[in-house]
Amino acid sequence: MNYIPVKTPEFVKSIFPSFVWNINTSQKELYLTFDDGPTPKVTDWVLHQLHLYNAKATFFCIGNNIDLYPEIFQRVISNGHSIGNHTYNHLKGWKTSSQEYTNNTKKTEALLIRHFESSESFSNNLSAQLKLFRPPYGKIKPSQSKVILKLGYNIILWDILSFDWDPSTSPEKCVTNIISKTNPGSIIVFHDSVKAFKNLEYALPKVLEYYSKKGFEFKAITKQSLE
């Protein structure tokens, strides 16, 4: 297994300046993100935890899961969170042709547009006016990223990985990964998936409580935050 750091090194960020790794701010703001949903029970649990702390977040959704669980996805929208494109089939860019990768991303884009347009909260939903994309596994070819950027997307990577999906990582370690490395403006990766839920169920409430007591606000990624 290749070593992946909890916190993205600054030299990596400098190599890929067209990607968003963190939000530039000196304010007490953090940006929680959730990949791979919507997922039955898990996503609704996440929404409840966020609501308890008046927290907003960004959900990078798999198109196929949106098709499978449209009611859950609509609840994410109605709760005022930002939405990102995570491809339709959770493709690994390094092992996928650029044409297939682009088509898969466009398939989810069309799906998102339909859901936004049918949502009662469409006019108030900031993510409906912003195109966010996160490559599954963080793996994307330069040729693919060029196309995604030309389609008008902001490619969002991360500053902090919780490692909630990793069965060798304990729930306590997930919390430590975050609170030991996070700074104002950090983009933090969680997963609203069955695979990650054991760690997520422990870590998310701890993180929300810890930073709320320190006066931090949890925000969704929006146009304003990217300016």
Q: Map out the domains of the chain as residue ranges.
A: 21-226
User: Which tens digit of pLDDT belongs to each residue from 35-65?
Assistant: 999 999 999 999 999 999 999 999 999 999 9
- Per-residue pLDDT of the chain (227 residues), as tens digits, is 347 999 999 999 999 999 999 999 999 999 999 999 999 999 999 999 999 999 999 999 999 999 999 999 999 999 999 999 999 999 999 999 999 999 999 999 999 988 887 766 554 554 445 799 999 999 999 999 999 999 999 999 999 999 999 999 999 999 999 999 999 999 999 999 999 999 999 999 999 999 999 999 999 999 888 98
How far apart are the C-alpha atoms of 53 and 48, rounded to whole Å?
9
Six-digit token pair at 225?
């935050």
Six-digit token pair at 22?
């963190």
Amino acid found at 176: T
User: Nearest CA to 75 among 38, 126, 49?
Assistant: 38
Name the residues annotated as catalytic: 35, 191
Q: Over pLDDT 70: what percentage of the chain?
A: 94
pLDDT value at position 130?
73
Mean pLDDT of the chain: 93
Which of the listed CATH numbers 3.20.20.370, 3.90.1720.10, 3.30.830.10, 3.40.190.10 matches domain 21-226? 3.20.20.370
